Structure 1
């Protein structure tokens, strides 16, 4: 066995023991922190000052109610529980300040802060029955009933983790039942996608069709959930002809599919068919990684020359999608050379990154809410979380092919090739400055996957008019923001193609604040860029016999 093959085998085995986290990366961050602190007397002095100040604040505020929502129940406000809660809050504040040492590399500083938070979340007194007065109080009130129910729920969770059964818990919340029910037809099927055309509901439709490319990291129907919060259904009801791709869930035989394959088969091939069917420029829309695919496709189209057919774009919409990965937020904490090499070894041994492994990464990023808070509610309080459409979608995980995922991590996160003008699509360079279609770009205030300031960097990469919208909510809930949903608001602002490119802070000062859903502003923007008068509704052709929406690919699940 070659040495590199042996290394990959060891790394793949180690990855399964560490949930895919690289010990090398973690040790490098800890070493950078320790050596930077040891070589900086000024930082040592600052840390000592921080320690004494926090100890004093802790003592003076020993009777102050905790601000952490994990300790909001009234039972935490008495002795000794209040002392435990306040001590945990003080420890969190201390680590937040002492892990940020001047002289450390930025990546190491972010890693140390992140790992400290994970460790503190693990040690939170709310996680244990003996130190959680809320759970103890409920156990006494129910005469042990909550503990019995919590035990049953814990067994259910452990059994589910051991069997990796891909069957949805609630069969009513599956695509084609209560989810992804917008009527339509599959009009194209290739190795990677099914293209769905949705049936019109209005007497006239806009001339330019809307083509949506969701992320392949999860199933497409995040944008077609229940009828009341389906983006697709809402767009159709506004008089838009809507197409959307449903990504195939890959298997081990797809290990060598590339990033370019996803752009070509998932965006450009469907786009050419849509243009042929509608004979109009197309509004191309990308969400999350689908937005990165769409941006590459739009740049590739801009460089095409006859005899290759050119598909004109009426506009390009990017929703929570990064094109510059220099500041990727919390996702970047887990992505460096050592971490990517470990992931590549793990994927090389199986041909893909499994849905469970991908979900585990997101859970680790948000362990406080997705792991510990959920276990506290279920195991300690005996309260079963009520299922809903978003939770059902979140549990419907997908795989990523080994080669494509490796290229994505290296080209985008490590090399930032698309923003730096070094990305090559099918062997030829592409540049986002070649895009000529106007841009509508959406960021969300609480996005930990695609931070809005990172999404905002498209202003420095494209020389076209840009309307940027910042909406409240996170990566999913901020995008699925249907009209009528309570407590929704957004801000928007335009930047001309020849205007000065603002910083995020400058944009915030000038942006217009609005109440309600950003979908309304988007539909108006799409309509304002009409490529012609309204036309007769376009009904999907079922003669190809590819089946009705939601298609076949969306139902493929694996027990891994």
Structure 2
């Protein structure tokens, strides 16, 4: 007799389940074979990575065991708290209310589901995890005798382990995942496994987690859409001139230099949050550098080449196209570091064409690089150089993963849970699409940058580095400069960026915005978010500066716009045509360089 019981909503039919499992099995086998083949050629590097990570923990263990009393006290405090948790949990199971022994931090979104509070079992799991995490944190932090760099490494990797072991990352201990698994009769796990296999395949055997719907965006269609023309190009850059959006424009054109680790369109996302569009609306003539996505063909490109073929070549083109000898410049992150090098080079040459400079979340003094310091000791740089040497460049995905690790709960584990455990598709988000669109970096250039800037901190020293035959001395920069940093920036900490203005000789202004490295910068006035601080006090002490600063509501763009208006020169008629006879338009913006992806270089 046929079973006519209706299928539960969301449940997989037997034939669909069989087909899905068969497809998964076939894909899995191919991925395993590819992974094993790759490991045979890269195994020695994997072993070196593991040894490099284990050494700091060996040193920490030796230091911790040298002070058994402190270790015993830490363990006793943990067990006392755990005993209290057990007692309180027992009371809750019997129907009595009890105060939590430990609670998540205010910004911890992992435990936002009401189940973590209302259900005694999951409340116990949550608090057990938080107590254990706190115990590990304190044990590591309170160990004495470690040098600062080793302590930082141990702390970073301990937090990475703690984040990975969160109960939210496992099916059996995440109430939201369990609830969905019951509702869909496991369909979410089947979909999640398919999502994981697709990400593994896209990453060439490495897990390349999708943070957004990659099919929802297309460069030039719904991101990087501000009208313009590519008016110059060489082996490293395309130069975009944007169509003016006002009848009159400031005489001095503006050249934007983005970081080459990501695509330029962070400054030209959707029209509602496009910095480029906003600058055009303020009456500026805007030019943008769009970096090439390098392959093995560009392996020999150096940091010096990035200066000569980047900002310097672009400045020459901008001057010729506009007929203005003067211009202002903007550098974002690494682009700001390169801009500072370029200005010092121009100063050495007696070239004073740049009349104003803006540095966005940019380090010039690398003494306090934040948690990125974990990845830049001699041992790890040597390993990185061997990896780059094999291909001639650093793969964009590797650097993107490094940055994501700095905010693992937000940029790794939240998507792991959403995509693989819940089986959901990531939400379309232009900022995360851009974040997934990293670029490769030539081996010679990247090695020079890591060693001379991050490791040796030579840029701040007069003559510490030499580019194109000129010793670079930042103190020779007399250009009026505007420094903007973000209070929660984990890539260019404001403890470090606050030192930048002290290295220049010209008038400087330092502004601190809210939020982080991206959202803090890309913060159009229409959002009226985060606020910002300004102060005229010249100091490298964060507390001292903040105490003297005045807070303003809204976007820092409002303050920057006033500063730029004074530096832009008189208003003139906007050009009717883009480019010039010497630099005719090559193609429409956003150009072809920006469309080259790191995971499919042309």
Same fold (TM over 0.5): yes
Partner residue, 2:549: 511
- Map Cα deviations across residues 433-464 of structure 1 (whole Å, 9 max, x no partner): 10001111111122111111111111331222
In structure 2, relative to structure 1, the CA distance for the partners of 1:269 and 1:166 (3 Å cut) is farther
Partner residue, 2:434: 393
Structure 1 position 48 matched with structure 2 position 72: yes
Structure 1 position 403 matched with structure 2 position 444: yes
Tell me which of 586, 592, 596 is aligned to 1:546: 586
TM superposition shift of 1:262: 0.5
TM superposition shift of 1:477: 1.2
CA–CA distance in structure 2, aligned partners of residues 152 and 349 of structure 1: 32
Tell me which of 363, 368, 388 is aligned to 1:327: 368
SS of aligned partner of 1:22: helix
Tell me which of 25, 46, 58 is aligned to 1:17: 46
Partner residue, 2:483: 441
Tell me which of 171, 187, 193 is aligned to 1:129: 171
SS of aligned partner of 1:554: helix
Tell me which of 302, 306, 326 is aligned to 1:262: 306
SS of aligned partner of 1:447: coil
RMSD: 2.5
Instruction: Trace 1:459-498 onto structure 2 (pairs within 5 A).
Output: 459-495=501-537
Instruction: Trace 1:363-374 onto structure 2 (pairs within 5 A).
Output: 363-374=404-415
Partner residue, 1:7: none
TM superposition shift of 1:12: 8.2
Instruction: Trace 1:197-212 onto structure 2 (pairs within 5 A).
Output: 197-212=241-256
TM superposition shift of 1:92: 1.4
Partner residue, 2:84: 60
Instruction: Trace 1:352-367 onto structure 2 (pairs within 5 A).
Output: 352-367=393-408
CA–CA distance in structure 1, aligned partners of residues 41 and 551 of structure 2: 49
TM superposition shift of 1:344: 0.1
TM superposition shift of 1:207: 2.0
Ranked by relative contact order (alpha carbons within 8 Å, sequence separation 6 or more), the top structure is 1
- Map Cα deviations across residues 144-185 of structure 1 (whole Å, 9 max, x no partner): 443344344334333333479999964551211111111111
Tell me which of 442, 449, 457 is aligned to 2:499: 457
TM superposition shift of 1:311: 4.4
CA–CA distance in structure 2, aligned partners of residues 135 and 280 of structure 1: 62
In structure 2, relative to structure 1, the CA distance for the partners of 1:431 and 1:131 (3 Å cut) is same
CA–CA distance in structure 1, aligned partners of residues 158 and 259 of structure 2: 31
Partner residue, 2:111: 71
Structure 1 position 35 matched with structure 2 position 56: no
Tell me which of 238, 246, 255 is aligned to 1:194: 238
Structure 1 position 225 matched with structure 2 position 269: yes
Q: Is the 8 A contact 2:267 2:274 kept in 1?
A: yes
Consecutive unaligned residues in structure 1, runs of 5 or more: 1-9
Tell me which of 522, 535, 539 is aligned to 2:572: 535
TM superposition shift of 1:304: 0.6
Partner residue, 1:297: 342
Q: Give the alignment's TM-score, normalised by structure 1.
A: 0.90
After the TM superposition, which of the residue ranges 416-425 and 275-284 deviates more from structure 2? Answer: 275-284
Q: Is the 8 A contact 1:122 1:372 kept in 2?
A: yes
Partner residue, 2:92: none
- Map Cα deviations across residues 56-85 of structure 1 (whole Å, 9 max, x no partner): 334435551731431221222323222221
TM superposition shift of 1:114: 0.6
Q: Is the 8 A contact 1:205 1:535 kept in 2?
A: yes
SS of aligned partner of 1:396: coil
Structure 1 position 185 matched with structure 2 position 214: no
In structure 2, relative to structure 1, the CA distance for the partners of 1:321 and 1:460 (3 Å cut) is same
In structure 2, relative to structure 1, the CA distance for the partners of 1:280 and 1:535 (3 Å cut) is farther
SS of aligned partner of 1:69: coil
Partner residue, 1:6: none
SS of aligned partner of 1:551: coil
TM superposition shift of 1:522: 0.7
CA–CA distance in structure 1, aligned partners of residues 431 and 479 of structure 2: 32
Partner residue, 1:5: none
SS of aligned partner of 1:296: helix
SS of aligned partner of 1:70: coil
In structure 2, relative to structure 1, the CA distance for the partners of 1:75 and 1:195 (3 Å cut) is same
After the TM superposition, which of the residue ranges 124-133 and 68-77 deviates more from structure 2? Answer: 68-77
Q: Is the 8 A contact 2:363 2:496 kept in 1?
A: yes
After the TM superposition, which of the residue ranges 339-348 and 352-361 deviates more from structure 2? Answer: 352-361
Consecutive unaligned residues in structure 2, runs of 5 or more: 1-38, 89-97
In structure 2, relative to structure 1, the CA distance for the partners of 1:388 and 1:282 (3 Å cut) is same
SS of aligned partner of 2:294: coil
Larger CA Rg, structure 1 vs 2: 2
- Map Cα deviations across residues 76-97 of structure 1 (whole Å, 9 max, x no partner): 2323222221121112112222
- Map Cα deviations across residues 441-495 of structure 1 (whole Å, 9 max, x no partner): 1111221111111111113312222211111121111111111115331111235
Tell me which of 236, 239, 253 is aligned to 2:280: 236
Q: Is the 8 A contact 1:11 1:345 kept in 2?
A: no
Q: Is the 8 A contact 2:56 2:153 kept in 1?
A: yes
